[in-house]
Amino acid sequence: MRNNKFSGIYYDLATKIQSGEMKSNSLLPSEHELAKMYDASRETIRKALNQLSQNGYIHKVRGKGSVVLDIEKFNFPISGLVSFKEIANRSRKEWRTIVHELVLAKPDSFIQKQLKINNKAEVWKIVRSREIAGERIILDIDYVNKEFVPTITKDIVEHSLYAYFESQLGLVISFAKKEITVEQATEADREYMDLGEHTYVVVVRNHVYLNDAALLQYTESRHRPDKFRFVDFARRENIGLPFK
């Protein structure tokens, strides 16, 4: 019941921020005031605020309170595995996926290394632009090991690969290793994204693993830099080292 209470508070506050009822750069009510408003404990309120902070809705400032962030930028959690469809639905803006390439191919030496496969294996290569509110702001290039995914259709890749993997194929996606860099835009970036004056993109490379640690997918996701905020929740751990 307590988890339901915390989730309800989180979603209510997130909805108010998304709708503009709570403006960016404004302060949320204090924990004490929120506890009264929602008839909840301070602990429950604190948990909801931590989740809002983790997902990029607010920034907690010591001695000041919780400041509402500008959510015109889409929040990508660094430590989580979230699909584009989930991010886009959260934004409540019109979105679509444009499929440029869907082929079954022999992997080159680079992809063999990324997926730990040999040259006899086959992979699905998928190239897609992601459009939100009429702007193409992500270019996704995916390589999926055919051993785990025998069939993929254009309709599937226009919607959600993860939904297909998990709901239709019964695959259990466990974790991913991520690398985030800022790189100069390529010719493909300029062709498949609406970059305008931007000459750099934020590149997220993912190695996605199943629950038995088998490599399912290698993805290169290229983002227009003005449209995204990469967020995480970090906690300092005392590992017992002496201070100097």
Q: What is the pLDDT along the chain (244 residues), one digit of tens a residue?
A: 455 788 889 889 988 887 788 888 899 999 999 999 999 999 999 999 988 887 778 888 888 889 887 666 666 666 666 667 666 666 667 889 999 999 999 999 999 999 999 999 999 999 999 998 899 999 999 999 999 999 999 999 998 898 899 999 999 999 999 999 999 999 999 999 999 999 999 999 999 999 999 999 999 999 998 887 676 655 556 555 555 5
Pair (52, 90) in one structural domain: no
Pair (106, 223) in one structural domain: yes
**Residue 78 lies inside a defined structural domain of this protein:** no
CA distance 244 to 133: 52
Pair (104, 208) in one structural domain: yes
- Asked whether the whole model's pTM tops 0.85, one would answer no
Beta strands in the chain (DSSP E): 58-61, 65-68, 74-77, 95-105, 123-132, 135-145, 173-184, 200-210, 215-223, 228-231
Domain of residue 139: give its range: 84-227
Q: How many CB atoms within 10 Å of residue 154?
A: 11
Q: Which pLDDT does position 1 carry in this prediction?
A: 42
**Residue 21 lies inside a defined structural domain of this protein:** yes
Pair (124, 190) in one structural domain: yes
Q: How many CB atoms within 10 Å of residue 16?
A: 15
**Residue 35 lies inside a defined structural domain of this protein:** yes
